[in-house]
Amino acid sequence: MRVKVLRNQDVKFLAAFIPKGHRHTRIYINLGDEILILQQAAVDALIRAYALVALHPKRTGIGLRIRRLSKYERKEGFAEYQLLEVNIDENKLINSLSKVYDKYVQGHD
pLDDT for the residue 8: 94
Kindly report, residue by residue over 90-101, the tens digit of the pLDDT: 999 999 999 999
Strand partners, 83: 66
Q: What separation in angstroms does the CA of 64 have from each of 9, 26, 34, 47? A: 27, 20, 25, 12
Kindly report, residue by residue over 8-60, the tens digit of the pLDDT: 999 999 999 999 999 999 999 999 999 999 999 999 999 999 999 999 999 99
Can you count the helices (H) and strands (E) in the chain?
A: 2, 5
Compute the C-alpha angle 75/53/27, nearest 5°: 60
Confidence (pTM): 0.85
For residue 54, which phi and psi values (nearest 5 degrees)? -65, -35
d(CA 65, CA 24): 21
